[in-house]
Every structure is written in structure tokens, then in C-alpha cells.
Amino acid sequence: MAEVKAKRKTDIGPPHYEKFLPPIIKENYGKWKYHEILKPGVMVTVSESGAKLFTVRAASPRLLSIDKIRAYADLADKYCDG
């Protein structure tokens, strides 16, 4: 008799990108109605269910100080639930 082998779990390659998507994007993946640019660097995307996703363009130099990284983290905690 042949034994059924369990599916082998490997750590080769990066994890699937879907694992890191925020809940609003997972729920509305492929269901976006339209987007509009509110002002340069700020865009809102509206889904078929009416959920809104705001995208803000930000730039930084290649090397950052720890103070700047902490400032970005504080903004994410304040406005984006981390």
C-alpha cells in the first residue's frame, strides 16, 4: 500500500503578498469602482460596497534617522491603526 504523504511545508521564497494586505484591501480585492485624486499626492479609492481607501504619496531620502522613522510610525499609529 502506498502511504499518502503530507504536503511538505518549505520556507523557500518569500511569503505570499496577500498575507500582508490590510483588511479593507482583502475584503474589496478586485471590487473597486473608481478612484479620484483629491489633490497632488492624495488619492481616494472607492469600492462597490462604499468603503473608501485613502492613499498618500510620501517620499524620503535613502538613509533615514531613527527620529524620522519614529515620526512615520507615530503617523501610522494615529491615522492608520498601525
Q: Domain containing 50: what range?
A: 21-57
Q: Does the residue 72 lie in any domain?
A: no
Residue 2 pLDDT > 70: no
How many domains, the chain? Answer: 1
- Distance, CA of 42 to CA of 54 (rounded, Å): 7
Q: Does the residue 48 lie in any domain?
A: yes
- Distance, CA of 46 to CA of 24 (rounded, Å): 11
- Distance, CA of 72 to CA of 79 (rounded, Å): 11
Residue 19 pLDDT > 80: yes
Q: Does the residue 29 lie in any domain?
A: yes
3-class SS of residue 71:
helix
At 27-74, the pLDDT tens digits run: 999 999 999 999 999 999 999 999 999 998 988 889 999 999 999 899
Q: Does the residue 5 lie in any domain?
A: no
- Distance, CA of 38 to CA of 17 (rounded, Å): 28
Q: Does the residue 35 lie in any domain?
A: yes
